[in-house]
Structure 1
């Protein structure tokens, strides 16, 4: 591949700490704080549960719609450029919102401000995520046989941010709106500045030829279809995400209505799951060193399927918490395999578009899980989770059976 068509994110070679890990940490914290903190901000400003739910939807709907654009622009402009501009834009929007809310702490202006903030930060965060993930994949390609170590560190950063971000946002909000917005603004500015520390390639075209980058999600879909290993793994994990999404969507009903616990105990389930995932990612990193990707991925698939099946029949809250934590830990191991495979087999000039398509496919089961939860009587949720667990096991078994001899996972 000539330098004339290789995208910028495929040619950067600085140290991982300053060029990948530190920017990813700042962006992941800003991502987690904004995703969970802005709905809290809406509730504190409007006192409306309906508007709070709408704000959460406004964060996610534009993100899903922006996937194709984000991947295509990252391919054409380079990951570091898009990451810098998206993070800087998010910081400016947050700062402007803080000023408006200072001048108009309540009323129509405040309501419009926080709702617009939810939508705009959702889109900008999606662009920064696709960009920094693309840069991380390029680092994984350069690491070669140690690509799984890079992806394990990146996944650990994401899980740590998911664990700490919501709590930090809630604590800062207790001190008032300005401290929380200021913290996310500072993190966004830090991410933008760290993105500048990745030096541009001395030979970088203004845009990659359209024939090489394609047009967003269509290019990503075609690339997935042309890579059997990636296609089977994405298929298996998509079916697995249906079971995981159902447990997430039905969690409050199961914990509060079925087990008679408090809403705080619902959050404890997912905090335990995040902690278990962090431990799993670390262990899988060393396990892949010794055993390889396929054995570790297949073992995690078996554990995830059995944990979901058992969670559907959990007799009490404690066993349910442990089983969900085991499930998410196994999901973390499979995610390391997916990220590693993705970084190694996707052509660099199409990585952003293919990454966008992959993430969109993996996220589609979550709204389906929400619909299933809404349509299912509480007493029947266990049966639906059992059916999804069986579907999850079948999908993962087919995927890893087909991948058993694939060189992409045997390397």
Structure 2
């Protein structure tokens, strides 16, 4: 997981930076972010069905080897034809297989750690993920400073191969049964009907989806504008951009470790993390300089990671195990549609100076939405 996520961070790091540096346009940078993330989001329901139907380990292999091949073929295409679209295309196509790997891992984790507290399992998983985010920007920025984006993509391809080798070694040492949860269903229609039925009728699921979508909107705008804000509005270097990502990831690890070690109820984890994302978004929106912006950025990333613990734990408790992949895939589609939407909203801004106002408006809308979604629960507790 660490090695594959490290490679993925290389690609996520290089796309917005290369687009902004080449075009000097925050609008094109935002649209590139939308193009990069939209395929990942749209493919979640299909990947969810596949994760239930086929062996998760085999899907992980396809994900990792496939991404390495896409990097190689994309670089060959760039060398033959040129053009900025190749780096965006590589990241977008790799994003499809990243989604498949993510869904396979979501089905695997409850099977591997069946007897562990799921909040703790998710905390450790998120910590590993954020550790890769610490190392990714540092290494990618170092490579980018002495070479070009093609070198970054080559190293990403090598890391994807290393991820596959690491998983093969792990599997030799760990023989825990990992099976498909719904391999008897050959239909493509029934799984989606089941997933949408759970979405409508399982209690509490619609509220959690709405909260997550609103948090992802702030998170998406923050990521889509970070390169332009640092290198454009605050006139800092690529190294400062890497530092921003690293500080955010380190703070996230600290928050996740505290959440995993704490005895907070899952509801309190949700409340604290939701509030933290809002506060961080407001700080990034009003920050007059790079350093205060870094504080807000770190708070958004840190508490977004904590919110992921909340959302995944709640999903695991609500959704039946045999339908977990297909239902989670559809849920993540709705949750994450706000991220490419964030890129489109950034693309509509006239200049980088206007992004602070956009983030502030989104924070206010999210706060009001969270309050409205929580009122029925608060009222029920009061009357109960």
Which interval holds the TM-score relative to the shorter structure?
0.7 to 0.9
Q: Deviations over 1:255-309 (max 9, x none)?
A: 455444445434433322211111100111122xx23111232122223323323
Report 1 or 2 for greater relative contact order, CA contacts < 8 Å, sequence distance ≥ 6: 2
- After superposition, residues 251-400 of structure 1 pair within 5 angstroms as 251-287=226-262, 290-378=263-351, 379-400=353-374
- Structure 1 pair 222/272, CA: closer, same or farther in 2 (3 Å)? farther
From 38, 52, 59, the equivalent of 1:75 is 52
SS at match of 1:209: coil
Alignment match, 1:19 = none
Structure 1 position 212, deviation (Å): 11
Provide closer, same or farther for how the CA distance between residues 392 and 141 of structure 1 changes in structure 2, counting only shifts above 3 A. farther
**Partners of 2:78 and 2:233 in 1: CA distance:** 40
TM-score normalised to structure 1 length: 0.74
Q: Please show how residues 11-410 of structure 1 align to structure 2 within 5 Å.
A: 24-36=1-13, 60-91=37-68, 97=73, 101=76, 106-108=79-81, 118=91, 120-139=93-112, 142-143=115-116, 146-171=117-142, 174=146, 177=151, 180=155, 183-194=158-169, 196-197=171-172, 199=175, 201=177, 207-210=183-186, 214-216=190-192, 219-287=194-262, 290-378=263-351, 379-400=353-374
Q: How far apart in 2 are the matches of 1:118 and 1:280?
A: 28
The normalised TM-score by structure 2 is: 0.78
Q: CA deviation at 1:166?
A: 3.9
User: Greater CA radius of gyration, 1 or 2?
Assistant: 1
* Count of residues in Structure 1 that have an aligned counterpart in Structure 2: 373
Query: Quick check: 2:31–2:343 contact (8 Å CA) kept in 1?
Result: no
Q: Which runs of 5+ in 2 are unaligned?
A: none
* Greater displacement, 335-344 / 182-191: 182-191
Q: 1:195 to 1:75 in 2, by over 3 A?
A: farther
Q: After alignment, is 240-249 or 373-382 more displaced?
A: 373-382
- Give per-residue Cα distances to partners, 1:129-160, cap 9 Å, x unaligned: 210122124446542xx210000000111111
Distance 1:35 1:308, change over 3 A: closer
SS of equivalent to 1:208 = coil
Deviation sequence 1:109-130 (CA, Å, 0-9, x none): 9999878755553332221121
Distance 1:336-1:310 versus aligned 2 partners, 3 A rule: same
